[in-house]
A and B are shown apart, each in its own frame.
Chain A
Amino acid sequence: MWEDILIAILGALVVFAVLILLQYIIEAIHAFAGRNDKKQQKETAAAAPVQYNADEDAIQEVELEDEEELVAVIAAAIAASLNVSAYDLNIKSIKRVPPYTPVWNKMGRQQQLMNRL
């Protein structure tokens, strides 16, 4: 019995030790690769649409029908937030970034919204 209790304590300690080690590893990764956040994220945003286009398939084509409408909505939104007329805007390109947020995350947000309605 004592041996088994020892195994349990040892097991819990190993789990802790491994996860604490992981904590330091994550911090090390951050020190190594966590710098210049902004540059990185811009790159991500720029690189993503290329990849998205490569994977274009039937679904994408269906969505194309609404594209003009989508552009109009985006233009209107920008105009509103910049407080200028949409006629004064010259939108050169709109790039789609793949969804970063996992589905559950979106669900959670939706739930929050629904709760407040």
Chain B
Amino acid sequence: MGDMFAKLLQQTGLLQLTWQQVLMMVIAGVLIYLAIEKKYEPLLLLPISFGMLLANLPAAGLMNPPGDGHIGGLLWYLYQGVELDIYPPLIFLGVGAMTDFGPLIANPKSILLGAAAQFGVFATFIGALLFGFTAQQSASIGIIGGADGPTAIYLASKLAPELLGAIAIAAYSYMALVPIIQPPIMKALTTKEERGVVMEQLRPVTKTERILFPIIVTIVGSLLLPSAAPLLGMLMLGNLFRESLVVDRLSKTAQNELNNIVVIFLGVTVGATASADNFLTSQTLFIIALGLVAFAVSTACGVLLGKIMYKLSGGKVNPLIGSAGVSAVPMAARVSQVVGQQENPGNFLLMHAMGPNVAGVIGTVVAAGVFLAIFG
């Protein structure tokens, strides 16, 4: 009888629980709290943090690969979508269907601001190398500065899968913190006069332009950087669904149902990569610190190029839209709008900031493509 009880006890996870796993569950609990109470990107942070919780349950083996007579854990199978780079491009399909490239097409110069905001990616790449990360790991950490979750996951799963959990959590946490991180940098770098600039209204964009844009960008972008083709291609396909106006159903599915399903799978499994032995290292702290640097540098470079454009255009460009070059859509653009309005309540920068904002998405994809071409 006592023997059977001992056996049963061994079957439970209780005896196998390590303090590291308990700590991870506490961290997961904190993230769940942030997602629910503070609403930090809850759509992603909630599945990610719960995935973290699940992966750290001892003996449950949700992330175990098949073998030794076991069929493998549920999350391991779902994780194949991350491992094989299926989920991030599908998310991009939804992002494309949700994104209006109109402001970018109307003001093509704003694309430069989206490029400038990628400097943080490359600066952090160097920074991470200095901290002793490998080149592949540094590239994956740097891309946090692009503020684009799916791209960060895509690159990290290819170049540094061991850091995936930490990178995803850092990327999404900072995206949620955009309204807190960006305004001080924006205000420090601009003068009162610059912040008050009212920009000319954007010209209307024709339907033909809207349809040609995704097609041509796909062709040109993929020819130049084939490694970026999966992300860029799906982004533009989603956008074509939207702009063609003939496949409303597909467009809506890509934006809603499909996107939501993929977000669940992606979030849970990315969180599940954060097992105690992977996550509880000094590297994680460095990643979180470097991610913040990446974000700040990207914001600053965007604003600085905005200032240059302000000078060159004779005061027609408001430098505040530069910070929207980090691709956290549409949060970064809203921050530009809010900071601009603090200076001049009648100023509406939102649509102007959307140009750099969507350009930032393309810019981050291109940056990821460059890293993949070099290190992939």
Contact = CB atoms under 8 A, between A and B. Distances in A.
A103 interface: yes
A66 interface: no
B245 A11 contact: no
Interface string A30-49: 10111111001101100110
A105 B348 CA distance: 12
Given A19-B114, A27-B108, A51 B220 contact: no
B343 interface: no
Report, as a range, how many residues of chain B touch the other chain. 35 or more
A76 B176 CA distance: 44
B330 A19 contact: no
A19 B232 CA distance: 13
Given A19-B112, A22-B111, A103-B98, A43 B207 contact: yes
Contacts of B371: 11
A37 B204 contact: yes
B78 interface: no
B245 A29 contact: no
Interface in B215-241: 216-217, 220-221, 224-225
B248 A51 contact: yes
B209 A102 contact: no
A105 B112 CA distance: 23
B231 to A, nearest CB: 13
Interface stretch (B22-30, B50-58, B99-107, B273-281): B99-107
Contacts of B212: 29, 32-33
A5 interface: yes
A14 B217 contact: no
A15 B100 contact: no
Contacts of A37: 203-204, 206
A44 B207 CA distance: 7
A15 B370 contact: yes
A46 to B, nearest CB: 11
Interface of A: 1, 4-5, 7-12, 14-16, 18-27, 29-30, 32-37, 40-41, 43-44, 47-48, 51-52, 55, 98, 100-105, 108, 112
Given A11-B371, A41-B206, A43-B207, 19 more contacts: A8-B125, A11-B370, A11-B374, A14-B366, A15-B366, A16-B115, A18-B225, A19-B363, A22-B362, A26-B104, A29-B105, A30-B209, A33-B209, A37-B204, A55-B248, A98-B245, A102-B99, A105-B100, A105-B350
29 contacts: A8-B123, A8-B125, A11-B367, A14-B370, A15-B115, A15-B367, A15-B370, A18-B221, A19-B359, A22-B108, A22-B111, A22-B217, A23-B111, A24-B108, A25-B216, A25-B217, A26-B108, A26-B111, A29-B209, A29-B216, A30-B105, A30-B209, A41-B206, A48-B245, A51-B246, A55-B249, A100-B100, A103-B98, A108-B350
